[in-house]
């Protein structure tokens, strides 16, 4: 099997389950419904209250499949509630209780600058304002509690918080990751006194580094009322519709039950992008290539990640709008360049794309809903990539004149000739922005993108993928059959997953294996307690290590029985892969980790392309000039069919552009593999 082919390890569900996945994006809400061996998809506009669009999408997919929502056996969901609350700063009114003298940790942060060469760069405002940050007289060290906390003093703080009508409280005491006794007293006292969510750092992130731990705990508290309210409404409305209770995609790429995420809100950040990476790794094999670069371009943003050895790469070193979030998550780089991204001219006269988006309402000018600002989608319409008769999502007809009018205004402002020149410029700028993002996860990390396959999905991803591949010298682009709703499809294939961690801080050679095993026993017990079926769970152990004196760590696997020599060997190898060298220095074992995974099952989907696939032709503008391109109905392309560019492949949820120097091959499951084919004759054979 060659890289870029469909996976062979995904079998049938084995139980004939009917399952639905719903992913909320910034512009559209995507739905994938697996019933028998059919895959039914739908796309509806995202609503302000996201659960409304979710239920509309479920109804639409069920209607297409000829079933009732009550016939659904499993429901998985990815959302943007958390990330929207962080970006828009409309989360809960949150207070922080911390150790005396550490009130301003959130504000001081680290000495690194957001932008090294920007003399006016400003750090983001903390989620908790100073007047809502309270100190308690206590002290613990890494060796244990030195000065106990006074519960009566905590009750006095609770009275002040009640007076100020706070909606959530974060508790983060110094060194609580090592000894949480004082923090437990504070958290339990506040829970007795207040009827609001209390997030304690030893429960959210039992790791060292005060700023990052405080930031992550504050984010959890800040998000909990919003997540609790949203998930609670969704559970209620789904039950009323006869649908099952939703399981929620976490940032780590695994789903969890609704009660768990309502208590651990911070784990839901980047829920949707994680689902897309899971969908890519579930449908495309990375054999015979270094790995996969996943490229998800939706209406608001583009998300890029890596899959290696069949697994999405994860990180515990992420930021959202400048706020450190240290929970395990799929390593996704996001840039504000999507189909709905507004294009504009900066003071220097240069074209820019995003990060502002036209959203679903009014949307791009071509939606005909009153939008007047030019977007990337409007440029695609002007260039012919999206045809005048195309119905986006299967229903939304386009206003081509409105798109051209918006681009004419942009052309006048930028000093370009006409709407077509403006559209070319928008397309090039958007591609350049996304190319830089792909380079940031490949070239800048020591990976050669030419050794990877590019997996394109999202409503707009397949439209730009071949052009990006050209700029990166990547010679293989894979477009899964459900590319327009791959994040929703990924929800159908997702595992159930839970993580736990604790900082220990020890020199590897001197560490007591029995003590480390004791910590691992506690971590494993924690993650198995969350699993729906502990007996079916696969437990993996890992450790964050570093050379003595370093300020960063690398995560390596740990065997079922702790072996210091084996950990050291893996760390040396990991350091050489990441940085190009290894050192003959002592190794510190910093944080221990455990993950429990209850494997899911990928749906079996039959693909029967009818072969009656040609829709017609239209004039399309490529980098080398305008060409007559054959337009195909992608869902009717027969397995084994080849398509030579220039060509356009239309689906209800996405459009694939095959430039003149490229050709596509349709695999047995409907996956399209694009390769460079400069010598291939135009047309279809």
- Provide mean pLDDT across the span 549-567: 93
Note the pLDDT of residue 155.
97
pLDDT interval class at 124 (50, 70, 90) = confident
- Provide mean pLDDT across the span 281-305: 86
pTM higher than 0.95: no
Note the pLDDT of residue 7.
40
- Residue 481, token pair as written in the block: 């059959």
pLDDT at residue 71 is higher than 70:
yes
- Provide mean pLDDT across the span 594-603: 91
Q: Report how far Cα 225 is from the mean position of its chain's Cα atoms.
A: 21
CA distance 87 to 78: 17
pLDDT at residue 355 is higher than 90:
no
Residue 594 forms beta bridges with which residues?
Answer: 500, 541
pLDDT interval class at 173 (50, 70, 90) = very high
pLDDT at residue 491 is higher than 80:
yes
Return mean pLDDT, the chain.
Answer: 90
Of the given ranges (87-91, 131-135, 211-215, 262-266), which has the lowest mean pLDDT? 87-91
In tens, the pLDDT along 210-254 reads 999 999 999 999 999 999 999 999 999 999 999 999 999 999 999
Give me the helices (H) in 126-180, please: 151-163
pLDDT interval class at 267 (50, 70, 90) = very high
Note the pLDDT of residue 394.
55
Q: Report how far Cα 208 is from the mean position of its chain's Cα atoms.
A: 25
The dihedral through the CA atoms of 55, 58, 63, 67 has a sign that is negative
In tens, the pLDDT along 599-629 reads 988 887 888 877 767 889 999 999 889 999 9
Note the pLDDT of residue 425.
94
pLDDT above 90: percentage of residues in the chain:
68
pLDDT at residue 505 is higher than 80:
yes
* Most confident residue range from 7-21, 76-90, 172-186, 356-370: 172-186
Q: Which residue ranges form the domains of the chain, and what is each CATH number?
A: 1-272 (no CATH), 273-332+434-493 (3.30.420.40), 496-598 (3.30.1490)
Phi, psi of 110, rounded to the nearest 5 degrees: -115, 170
CA distance 574 to 554: 7
Of the given ranges (13-17, 331-335, 376-380), which has the lowest mean pLDDT? 13-17
- Residue 618, token pair as written in the block: 């239209």
Note the pLDDT of residue 12.
29
In tens, the pLDDT along 629-670 reads 999 999 899 999 999 989 999 988 889 999 999 999 999 889
pLDDT at residue 9 is higher than 60:
no
pLDDT interval class at 112 (50, 70, 90) = confident
pLDDT, greater one: 623 or 544: 544
Give, to the nearest 10 degrees, the angle between helix 461-472 and helix 419-441: 70
- Residue 31, token pair as written in the block: 């739905």
In tens, the pLDDT along 14-23 reads 356 899 999 9
CA distance 460 to 337: 10
């Amino acid at each position: 099997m060659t890289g870029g082919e469909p996976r062979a390890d995904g079998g049938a569900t084995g139980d004939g389950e009917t399952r639905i996945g719903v992913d909320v994006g910034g512009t559209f809400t995507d739905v994938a419904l697996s019933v028998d061996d059919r895959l039914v998809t739908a796309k509806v506009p995202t609503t302000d209250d996201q659960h409304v669009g979710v239920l509309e999408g479920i109804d639409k997919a069920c209607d297409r499949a000829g079933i009732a929502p009550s016939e659904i056996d499993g429901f998985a969901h990815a959302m943007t509630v958390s990330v929207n609350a962080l970006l828009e700063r409309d989360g809960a009114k949150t207070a922080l209780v911390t150790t005396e003298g550490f009130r301003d940790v959130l504000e001081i942060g680290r000495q690194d600058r957001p932008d090294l060469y920007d003399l006016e760069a400003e750090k983001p405002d903390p989620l908790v304002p100073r007047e809502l940050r309270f100190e308690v007289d206590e002290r613990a060290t890494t060796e244990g509690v030195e000065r106990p906390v006074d519960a009566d003093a905590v009750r006095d703080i609770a009275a002040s918080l009640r007076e100020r009508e706070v909606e959530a409280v974060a508790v983060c005491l110094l060194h609580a990751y090592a000894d949480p006794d004082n923090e437990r007293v504070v958290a339990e006292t506040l829970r007795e006194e207040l009827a609001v969510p209390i997030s304690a750092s030893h429960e959210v992130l039992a790791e060292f580094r005060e700023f990052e731990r405080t930031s992550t705990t504050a984010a959890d508290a800040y998000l909990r009322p919003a997540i609790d309210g949203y998930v609670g409404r969704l559970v209620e409305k789904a039950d009323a519709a006869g649908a099952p209770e939703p399981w929620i995609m976490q940032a780590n790429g695994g789903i969890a039950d609704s009660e768990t995420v309502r208590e651990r809100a911070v784990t839901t950040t980047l829920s949707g992008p994680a689902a897309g990476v899971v969908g890519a790794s579930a449908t495309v094999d990375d054999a015979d290539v270094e790995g996969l670069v996943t490229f998800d371009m939706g209406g608001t943003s583009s998300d890029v990640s890596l899959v290696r050895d069949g697994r999405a790469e994860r990180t515990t070193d992420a930021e959202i709008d400048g706020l450190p979030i240290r929970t395990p998550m799929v390593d996704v780089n996001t840039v504000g360049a999507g189909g709905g991204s507004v294009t504009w001219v900066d003071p220097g006269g240069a074209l820019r794309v995003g990060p502002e988006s036209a959203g679903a309402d009014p949307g791009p000018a071509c939606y005909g809903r009153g939008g007047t600002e030019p977007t990337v989608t409007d440029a695609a319409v002007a260039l012919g990539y999206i045809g005048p008769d195309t119905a986006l999502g299967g229903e939304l007809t386009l206003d081509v004149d409105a798109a051209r009018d918006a681009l004419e205004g942009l052309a006048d402002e930028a000093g370009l000739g006409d709407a077509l020149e403006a559209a070319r410029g928008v397309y090039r700028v958007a591609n350049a922005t996304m190319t830089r993002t792909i380079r940031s996860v490949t070239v800048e990390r020591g990976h050669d993108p030419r050794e990877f396959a590019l997996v394109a999905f999202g409503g707009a991803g397949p439209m730009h993928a071949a052009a990006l591949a050209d700029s990166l010298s990547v010679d293989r682009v894979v477009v899964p059959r459900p590319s327009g709703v791959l994040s929703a499809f990924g929800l159908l294939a997702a595992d159930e997953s839970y993580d736990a961690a604790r900082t220990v801080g020890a020199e590897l050679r001197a560490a007591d294996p029995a003590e480390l095993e004791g910590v691992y026993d506690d971590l494993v017990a924690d993650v198995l307690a969350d699993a729906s079926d502990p007996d079916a769970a696969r437990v993996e152990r890992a450790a964050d290590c570093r050379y003595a004196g370093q300020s960063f760590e690398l995560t390596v696997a740990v065997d079922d029985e702790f072996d210091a020599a084996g950990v050291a060997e893996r760390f040396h190898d990991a350091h050489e892969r990441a940085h190009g060298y290894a050192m003959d220095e002592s190794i510190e074992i910093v944080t221990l980790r455990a993950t429990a995974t209850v494997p899911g099952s990928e749906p079996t989907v039959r693909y029967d392309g009818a072969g009656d696939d040609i829709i017609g032709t239209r004039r399309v503008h490529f980098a080398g000039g305008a060409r007559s391109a054959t337009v195909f109905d992608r869902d009717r392309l027969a397995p084994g069919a080849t398509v030579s560019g220039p060509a356009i492949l239309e689906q209800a949820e996405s459009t694939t552009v095959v430039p003149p120097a490229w050709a596509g091959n349709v695999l047995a499951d409907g996956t399209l593999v694009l390769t460079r084919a400069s010598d291939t004759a135009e047309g279809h054979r």
